């Protein structure tokens, strides 16, 4: 026994969600050839085929690229802090890839390991994730090398799997997912077949061992020469979560906010004294691999990577973690 | 009973200390009345006016801006105002492309003796602005006075020419050229003429240090990157004397870099590859095709005539939009910006040790990926490349958010050509555009 | 919603200029009730901020026994510290904390303590010194060696004298060769050299060494030669921080998050970490 929904019915549902005031986010072709996860204004903007992975990730919707922490008003030597409104308003991520959905339970660890980041937690609670299983992959995908796959269920509240006739099998995986699709599905006998994922490209365990043992190896300088030190990989990565805290405003009022940051920027670890523990690109690239494949698993038991391939696709010079990992 | 008008325009005037400020002072001491709507910001010289300041004025609520200084020939610092004038010409073009209402920005020469002119101009600008009404575009974008961050609205897309997919592999002679390239590189390395070869590999740039590794090199229609960006990176410089593979469009960057004293052409070996086009939008109108200053050139150039007349074609879809819609378009584009700075890092001209956006004493450009921070960044980036951008379009290709940065670069390249007959990186003997000036630079917009 | 990034407001009750570019600041919670319930353990740090300029991380250099104020000390080097420099009595700044781990004062009980500090690194040593002096009976002999580039660069100079008055406390102060003034009565030499000359006993000792990397590099061999093992030589690691709560991914040295598992650690622990600091 399974449940299915037609594309038309699915789009009708999307329209309903939008009408209900939910923020509905899904893959959208913002311009020819450029597909991004974006808030949808109408259901016809939702793209369900013709792409492997949007150029960005869904993390922006639970961990915004710029988030105000609080405001402040300065009058003489009096300061008044203005609290931010807690995140409110339900949102539905529809058409998320399994690699994006899986990133969220992985990120939950760091945002909750002692101090609970309620800004993040509240957004998570307000979000229902409807994943779209993959029917194709490209050269940059490597979800199977990090324990995931084209229909991996981690982090999904419901999953859509394409059937031969263009309809979708819907698997409701959590109460949230069930509630979202309540009464909208057809009972069915049809079960979707799951596509074969990409071939395994490397052994994640070996990466951990390599980074620990070869910290000072000339491997890093030689394999990372092409890196230009931008933040395209980190910012399009579903699991990168490094951030900066800045004050912005004028002499009377302003906000303290957090912004995405990337360990690839030269100033990321620059001390005020001028000392920089990671003074060159090889050491910064090493940190990226180290953090994702050694530090995070050591601390939280999970690899900080879901193999979505965005880093490789978005890297202006074709690098991404894959090039380093396969060279190991 | 006279009605008090509801709207009192706020005019911000950036004036130079020696002439216009004195002129305004003179207006005061000679009791010439002028509207109190003007707020004067005094600077040593118009040459010092950074364009972020003008943008900032609008961000915080100015309805019009006046920029004024000494007459040409009278600058207290000899040539500051000439430098400024040239920049003003280019900046106006950029503002036009962005959808700013140029009626809101006024330029003038007012000397210390021209108290009357100051009075006249301020009256005129105030009345003009009163009729135009409040200018809220940038103020609203910047979220000034509003603690809530601007919501994430929909992105508007102006009709743009679609970027064709990367080439179809239908190049003539490519495998032969590739073999010739590898052989040349093998020889260079084996003979010790260079220590590292910067070239194209299967997946991206490669840095070959051993003769046998030249097999990594490729030459085909996927060789998109502008490799000249690596010449200034310290990890590459540490490898020793380089040989570098350049297409003709990339080579223009070498010309500019050398004129700006960033590289020494003698310290590298340049292998020029004649190109049949990479399927990018820039290739359709490319008129360079064959590197002109390389140490050796190989490969076959595309045969069909260059559609150079159509070089500004992509701008048409932008310029056909009315001003307000143009700004809407850019607001939509910039909203997707995540401040990854891929555009900056791929650009061979962005070689500053510390970019202005990374400075915080003071913070000139907010690093946040807000509408305000993004607008300020992209205006800065485009303008700092005015007259320097060689049109390799790497910034556009690198942007993960699909922002059409080349439109900004093109509008400034067009301005440089139309006003100054200047194309960056074409003539090694030509004077640089920015940093130089001519007594004949056009003045028709300056009062 | 409890916002972990929102600071407490602190009133500045005193600022003191210690050297041409170093100031110390005493602050008190604006909200009395909050001040009463607040406590920290000596060695922990806080994130202090000037609204409009940003946040900065400083060790809380007052003893955890003092309930009426917190103190921090900073060098004027950048955006936030420049703003802090202009802060005056009565101004309000922000504070988040306490974060990080603390000095293992329990483990130090009964031991002889050696405190070695260099330059601006004195403040994190200072709080430890006051703490042990306030629980004097719990600890053995105390030796303090403190040096700076020049006489003008010494911080908390007046307190050095106060410490020396306590029983079984030996204070040695020094300046780098060339940094002395004509009336300088202390030692002349680098901290490691002066310390070695001082002939301190290594018996039953632990050491706390905080200073510029070069000072630490040269002090460790002296300590090890004396027989003080890396597992009892402590230091406070500095690294660039932002959130202070282990989320922003900036301060890690390998898998050691300085803001959570540090900043206090032993040389033995440090030796196991990659050279990422």
Rg of chain C, C-alpha, whole Å: 18
Whether pLDDT at B7 is above 80:
yes
Inter-chain residue contact B361 with C79, CB threshold 8 Å: yes
CA distances from B88 to A62, B73, B100, B380, B406 (A): 43, 17, 14, 14, 21
Residue A70: both structure tokens together: 């609080």
Q: Is A180 strand, coil or helix?
A: helix
Tokens of A37: 């996860």
pLDDT tens digits, residue range B74-87? 999 999 999 999 99
Report CB contact under 8 Å: B363, A248: yes
Nearest-CA distance C10 → chain B (Å):
23
Buried b / exposed e along B100-114 (16+ C-beta atoms within 10 A): beeebbbbbbbbbeb
Is residue B85 within 8 Å of B420, Cβ to Cβ? no
Residue where a domain terminates, one of B271, B298, B325: B298
Q: Which residues of A68-107 are buried (b: 16+ CB within 10 A; e: fewer)?
A: bbbbbebeeeebebeebeebeebbbbbbbbbbbbbbbebb
User: CA dist A237 to A36, A272, B442, C131, C223, Å?
Assistant: 13, 29, 48, 46, 46
Chain B residues whose CB is inside 8 A of the C82 CB are: 361
The residues near C275 (Cβ < 8 Å, ≥ 6 apart) are A215, A216
Task: Tell which B residues from 5 to 44 touch A, by Cβ distance under 8 Å.
Answer: none
Task: List the one residue out of C66, C51, C55 whose CA is nearest residue C14.
Answer: C66
* pLDDT of C190 strictly over 90: yes
* Residue B28: per-residue pLDDT: 95
Please provide the size of chain B in residues.
447
Same domain, B212 and B273: yes
C-alpha pair distances (Å), A216 with each of A146, A283, C17, C219, C274: 25, 9, 42, 25, 9
Place of tokens 């403190």: C146
Q: What is the dihedral of CA B301, B304, B308, B309, to 10 degrees?
A: 180
Q: What does the pLDDT look like over C18-58, one tens digit per residue?
A: 999 999 999 999 999 999 999 999 999 999 999 999 999 99
Which residues from chain C sit within 8 angstroms of residue A275, using beta carbons? 213
Q: A-B interface: how many C-beta pairs under 8 angstroms? A: 137
The domain of B405 spans 308-420
CA distance B429 to chain A (A): 30
B63 plus B103 within the same structural domain: yes
Distance from CA of C217 to the nearest CA of B (A): 28
The shortest C-alpha distance from B134 to chain C (Å) reads 28
Q: Which helix (H) or strand (E) holds B312?
A: none
Assigned domain for B166 exists:
no
Among residues C74, C20, C19, the alpha carbon closest in space to that of C48 is found at: C74
How does residue B47 score in pLDDT terms, banded at 50, 70 and 90? very high
Number of structural domains in chain B: 3
Subunits in contact with chain B (3 or more CB pairs closer than 8 Å): A, C
Q: Which residues contact A181 (CB under 8 A, 6 or more apart)?
A: A3, A5, A13, A158, A170, A172
Q: How far is C18 from chain A (nearest CA, A)?
A: 19
Q: State the pLDDT at residue B54.
A: 93
The partner residue sitting opposite C245, judged by closest CB among A74, A115, A256, is A115
> Within an 8 Å CB–CB cutoff, is residue A278 touching chain C?
yes
Asked if C150 and C224 sit in the same domain, the reply is: yes
Q: Measure the CA–CA gap between C58 and C44, rounded to whole angstroms.
A: 9
Could you read off the pLDDT of B266-308 as tens digits, one per residue? 999 999 999 988 889 899 889 888 999 999 999 888 888 777 7
Closest CA to C203 of C111, C91, C78, C89: C111
Q: Nearest by CB to A259, from B230, B363, B367: name it.
A: B367
Global pTM value: 0.93
Q: What is the pLDDT of residue B140?
A: 74
d(CA A48, CA A66): 28
Q: Which residues of B touch C78 (CB under 8 A)?
A: 360-361
3-state secondary structure of A3: strand
CB-CB contact of B335 with B153 (8 Å): yes
Q: In chain C, whose CA is at the least distance from the CA of B360?
A: C79
Cα R_g (chain A), whole angstroms: 21
| Alpha carbon distance, N-terminus to C-terminus of chain A | 45
Alpha helices, DSSP H, located in chain A: 7-19, 98-110, 118-125, 175-181, 204-213, 219-223, 232-236, 281-290, 296-300, 310-314, 320-327
* Contact residues for B246 (Cβ-Cβ < 8 A; gap 6+): B227, B228, B254, B270, B271, B272, B273, B291, B294
- Inform me whether the pLDDT recorded for B1 exceeds 80: no
| Cis bond before residue C98 (omega within 30° of 0) | yes
Residue numbers in A near B155 (CB within 8 A)? 30, 38
Question: Is residue B411's pLDDT more than 50?
Answer: yes
- Which residues from chain A sit within 8 angstroms of residue B358, using beta carbons? 267
- Structure token pair of residue C216: 């630490």
**Confidence band for B323, pLDDT divided at 50, 70 and 90:** confident
Domain contains B444: no
Q: Do B361 and C82 touch (CB under 8 A)?
A: yes
Complete DSSP assignment for B347-366: -TT---SS-GGG--TT-SS-
- Assigned domain for C143 exists: yes
Quote the CA–CA distance of A202 and A219 in Å, as a whole number: 17
Among the listed residues A158, A155, A163, the one whose alpha carbon sits nearest the alpha carbon of residue A135? A163
Nearest by Cα to C29 from C87, C102, C128, C97 = C97
In a domain, C212, yes or no: yes
To which H or E segment does residue B43 belong?
strand B38-43
Q: Which residues pair with C29 in a beta bridge?
A: C10
Shared-domain flag, residues B20 and B75: yes
Residues of chain B above pLDDT 70, percent: 92
Cβ <8 Å between A56 and B400: yes
Q: Is residue B389 part of a domain?
A: yes
Q: The CATH number of the domain where C139 resides is what? A: 3.40.50.80
Q: What is the mean pLDDT of each run of 10 residues along chain A (328 residues)?
A: 93 96 96 94 95 95 96 93 94 97 97 95 96 94 95 96 93 95 91 92 90 90 93 96 94 93 95 91 95 95 96 93 85
pLDDT of residue C33: 95
Subunit contact A36:B336, Cβ cutoff 8 A: yes
Determine whether the interchain pair A258/C78 forms a contact, defined as Cβ–Cβ distance below 8 Å: no
Average pLDDT estimate for B190-196: 95
Share of chain B above pLDDT 90, in %: 74
- In-domain check, residue B446: no
Neighbouring chains to A with at least 3 Cβ pairs closer than 8 Å: B, C
C86–chain B Cβ distance below 8 A for any pair:
no
> Are residues B312 and B286 part of one domain?
no
- Provide the token pair at B331: 């607001």
CA distance A98 to A308: 9
CB burial of A39-50 (b: ≥16 within 10 Å; e: otherwise) equals bbeebebbbbee
- pLDDT of B144 reads 55
Residue in the structure block whose two tokens are 């992209």? B378
Question: Which residue's entry shows tokens 């796959």?
Answer: A149
Predicted confidence at residue A20, as pLDDT, reads: 95
Which candidate from C92, C94, C274 shows the least CB-CB separation from A215? C274
Question: Of B57, B121, B337, B346, nearest to A228 (Cα)?
Answer: B346
Q: What does the pLDDT average to over C108-123? A: 94
Domain co-membership, B227 together with B258 = yes
Distances (CA, A) of B266 to B28, B245, B258: 59, 15, 10
B237-268: buried (b, 16+ CB within 10 Å) or exposed (e) per residue? eebeebbbbbbbbbbbbbbbbbbeebbeeeeb
3-state SS of chain C? Answer: CCCCCCCEEEEEEEEEEEECCEEEEEEEECCHHHHHHCCCCCCCEEEEEECCCEEEEEECCCCCCCCCCEEEEEECCCHHHHHHHCCCCCCEEEEEEEECCCCCCCCCCCCEEEEEEEHHHHHHHHHHHHHHHHCHHHCCCEEEEEEECCHHHCCCHHHHHHHHCCCCEEEEEEECCCCCCCCCCCEECCHHHHHHHHCCCCCCEEEEEECCHHHHHHHHHHHHHHCCCHHHEEEECCCCCCCCCCCCCCCEECCEECCCCCCEEEHHHHHCCCCCC
Tokens of B419: 């006003």
Would you call C276 and A277 a contact, using CB atoms and an 8 Å cutoff? yes
State both tokens at C103: 């000095």
pLDDT digits (tens, 9 = 90+) for B334-373: 999 999 999 999 999 999 999 999 998 888 899 999 998 9
B235, A280: Cβ pair inside 8 Å? yes
Q: Are residues C54 and B360, on separate chains, in Cβ contact within 8 Å?
A: yes
pLDDT band per the 50, 70, 90 thresholds, residue B173: low
Name the closest residue on chain A to residue B232, using Cα atoms.
A228
The span from the CA of B227 to the CA of B242, in Å, is: 11
Decide if B147 touches A, using CB distance below 8 A.
yes
Chain B residues touching residue A253 (CB < 8 angstroms): 147
Residues B93 and B15 in one domain: yes
Peptide bond into A297 cis (omega under 30): no
> How far A11 CA sits from the closest chain C CA (Å)?
35
Q: How far is A160 from chain C (nearest CA, A)?
A: 33
CB contact under 8 A, A247 and C245: no
- Please state, in angstroms and rounded to a whole number, the distance separating the CA atoms of residues B78 and B44: 12
Please count the structural domains in chain C.
Answer: 3
In terms of residue numbers, what domain contains C256?
A: 242-277
Q: Which of B359, B361, B363 to mutate to test the interface with C (most CBs of C within 10 A)?
A: B361
Chain C contact set for B360 (CB, 8 A): 54, 78-79
Answer whether A268's CB lies under 8 Å from A284's CB.
Answer: yes
Nearest to A245 among C90, C243, C255 (CB): C243
- Three-class SS string for C176-237? CCCCCCCCCCCEECCHHHHHHHHCCCCCCEEEEEECCHHHHHHHHHHHHHHCCCHHHEEEEC
What number is the average pLDDT over the span C47-70? 96
Any domain includes C121? yes
CB-CB neighbors (< 8 A) of C54 in chain B: 360
Whether residue C65 is found in the same domain as residue C16? yes
Comparing B172 with A294, which gets the higher pLDDT?
A294
Residue-wise pLDDT for B130-171, tens only, equals 999 999 888 777 765 443 333 333 333 333 323 333 444 557
Cα dihedral C108→C114→C116→C117 (10° resolution): 50
Complete edge-to-edge strand list for the sheet that includes strand B269-273: B205-208, B196-200, B242-247, B269-273, B296-298
Q: Is the per-residue pLDDT at B230 higher than 70? A: yes
Indicate the residue among C76, C99, C122 that finishes a domain. Answer: C99
Looking at the structure, tell me whether residues C169 and C213 fall in a common domain: yes
Structure tokens that stand for B230 in this block: 């690596």
A247: helix, coil or strand?
strand
- Model pLDDT, residue B6: 82
Pair (B288, B191) in one structural domain: yes
> Is C94 within 8 Å of C51 (Cβ atoms)?
yes
């Amino acid at each position: 026994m399974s449940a299915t929904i037609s594309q038309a019915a699915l789009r009708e549902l999307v329209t309903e969600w939008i009408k209900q005031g939910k923020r509905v986010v899904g893959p959208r072709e913002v311009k020819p050839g450029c597909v991004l996860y974006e808030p949808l204004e109408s259901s016809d903007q939702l793209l369900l085929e013709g792409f492997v992975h949007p150029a960005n990730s869904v993390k922006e919707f639970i961990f915004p690229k710029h988030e105000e922490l609080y405001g402040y008003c300065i009058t003489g030597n009096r300061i008044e802090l203005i609290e931010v409104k807690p995140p409110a308003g339900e949102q539905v991520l529809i058409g998320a890839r399994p690699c994006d959905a899986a990133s969220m339970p992985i990120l939950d660890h760091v945002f909750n390991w002692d101090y609970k980041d309620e800004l993040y937690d509240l957004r998570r609670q307000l979000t229902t994730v409807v994943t779209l299983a993959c029917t194709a992959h490209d050269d940059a995908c490597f979800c199977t090398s990090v324990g995931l796959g084209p229909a991996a269920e981690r982090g999904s509240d419901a999953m859509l799997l394409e059937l031969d006739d263009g309809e979708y099998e819907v698997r409701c995986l959590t109460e949230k997912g069930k509630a979202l699709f309540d009464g909208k599905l057809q009972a069915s006998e049809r079960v979707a077949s799951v596509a074969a994922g990409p071939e395994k490209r490397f052994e994640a365990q070996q990466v951990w061992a390599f980074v620990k043992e070869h910290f000072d190896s000339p491997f890093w300088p030689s394999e990372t020469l092409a890196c230009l030190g931008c933040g395209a990989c980190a910012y399009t990565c579903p699991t990168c979560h490094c951030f900066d805290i800045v004050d912005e405003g004028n002499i009377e009022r302003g906000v303290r906010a957090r912004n995405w940051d990337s360990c690839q920027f030269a100033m990321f670890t620059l001390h005020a004294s001028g000392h920089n523990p990671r003074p060159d690109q090889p050491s910064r690239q090493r940190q990226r691999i180290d953090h994702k494949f050694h530090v995070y698993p050591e601390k939280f038991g999970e690899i900080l990577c879901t193999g979505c391939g965005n880093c490789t696709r978005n890297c202006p010079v074709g690098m991404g973690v894959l090039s380093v990992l396969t060279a190991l | 009973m006279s009605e008090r008008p509801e709207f009192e325009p706020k005019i911000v005037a950036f004036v130079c200390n020696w002439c216009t400020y004195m002129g305004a002072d003179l207006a005061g001491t000679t009791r010439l009345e002028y509207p109190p709507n003007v707020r004067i910001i005094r600077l040593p010289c118009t040459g010092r006016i950074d364009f972020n300041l003008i943008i900032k004025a609008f961000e915080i609520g100015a309805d019009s801006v006046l920029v004024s200084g000494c007459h040409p020939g009278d600058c207290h610092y000899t040539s500051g105002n000439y430098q400024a004038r040239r920049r003003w010409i280019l900046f106006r073009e950029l503002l036009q492309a962005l959808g700013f209402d140029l009626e809101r920005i006024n330029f003038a020469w007012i000397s210390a003796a021209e108290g009357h002119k100051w009075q006249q101009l301020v009256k005129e600008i105030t009345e003009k602005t009163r009729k135009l009404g409040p200018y809220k575009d940038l103020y609203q974008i910047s979220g000034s006075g509003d603690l809530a961050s601007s919501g994430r609205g929909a992105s508007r897309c102006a009709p743009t020419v679609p970027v064709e997919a990367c080439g179809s592999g239908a190049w003539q002679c490519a495998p032969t050229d590739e073999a010739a390239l590898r052989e040349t590189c093998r020889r260079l390395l084996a003979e010790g003429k260079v220590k590292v070869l910067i070239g194209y590999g299967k997946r991206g740039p490669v840095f070959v240090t051993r003769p046998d590794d030249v097999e990594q090199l490729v030459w085909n229609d996927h060789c998109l990157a502008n490799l000249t960006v690596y010449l200034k990176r310290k990890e590459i410089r540490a490898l020793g004397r380089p040989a570098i593979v350049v297409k003709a469009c990339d080579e223009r960057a070498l010309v500019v870099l050398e004129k700006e004293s960033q590289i020494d052409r003698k310290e590298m070996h340049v292998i020029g590859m004649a190109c049949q086009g990479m399927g990018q939008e820039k290739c359709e109108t490319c008129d360079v095709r064959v590197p002109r200053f390389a140490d050796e050139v190989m490969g076959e150039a595309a045969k069909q005539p260059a559609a150079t007349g159509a070089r500004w074609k992509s701008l048409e879809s932008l310029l056909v939009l009315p001003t307000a819609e143009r700004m809407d378009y850019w607001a939509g584009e910039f909203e997707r910006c995540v401040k990854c700075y891929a555009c900056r890092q791929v650009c061979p001209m962005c070689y500053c040790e510390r970019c202005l956006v990374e400075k915080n004493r003071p913070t000139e450009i907010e690093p946040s990926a807000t509408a305000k921070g993004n607008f300020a960044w992209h205006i800065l980036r485009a303008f700092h490349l005015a007259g320097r951008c060689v049109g390799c379009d790497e910034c556009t290709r690198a942007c993960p958010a699909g922002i059409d940065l080349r439109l900004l670069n093109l509008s400034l390249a067009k301005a440089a050509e139309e006003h100054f007959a200047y194309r960056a990186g074409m003539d090694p003997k030509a004077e640089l555009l920015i940093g130089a000036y001519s007594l004949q630079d056009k003045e028709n917009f300056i009062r | 919603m409890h916002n972990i990034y929102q600071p407490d407001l602190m009133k500045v009750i005193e600022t003191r200029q210690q050297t041409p570019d170093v100031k110390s600041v005493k602050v008190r919670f604006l909200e009395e009730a909050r001040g009463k319930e607040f406590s920290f353990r000596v060695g922990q740090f806080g994130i202090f901020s000037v609204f409009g300029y940003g946040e900065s991380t400083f060790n809380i250099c007052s003893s955890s026994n003092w309930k009426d104020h917190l103190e921090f000390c900073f060098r004027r080097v950048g955006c936030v510290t420049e703003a802090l420099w202009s802060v005056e009595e009565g101004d309000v700044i922000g504070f988040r904390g306490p974060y990080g781990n603390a000095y293992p004062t329990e483990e130090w009980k009964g031991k002889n303590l050696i405190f070695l500090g260099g330059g601006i690194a004195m403040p994190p040593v200072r709080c430890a010194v006051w703490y042990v002096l306030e629980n004097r009976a719990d600890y053995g002999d105390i030796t303090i060696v403190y040096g700076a580039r020049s006489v003008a660069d010494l911080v908390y100079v007046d307190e050095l004298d106060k410490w020396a008055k306590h029983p079984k406390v030996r204070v040695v102060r020094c300046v780098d060769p060339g940094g002395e003034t004509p009336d300088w009565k202390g030692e002349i030499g680098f901290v490691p050299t002066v310390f070695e000359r001082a002939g301190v006993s290594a018996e039953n000792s632990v050491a706390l060494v905080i200073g510029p990397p070069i000072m630490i590099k040269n002090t460790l061999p002296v300590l090890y030669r004396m027989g003080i093992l890396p597992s009892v030589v402590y230091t406070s690691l500095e690294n660039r921080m932002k959130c202070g709560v282990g989320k922003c991914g900036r301060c890690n040295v390998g898998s050691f998050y300085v803001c959570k598992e540090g900043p206090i650690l032993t040389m033995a622990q440090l030796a196991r970490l990659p050279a990422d600091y």
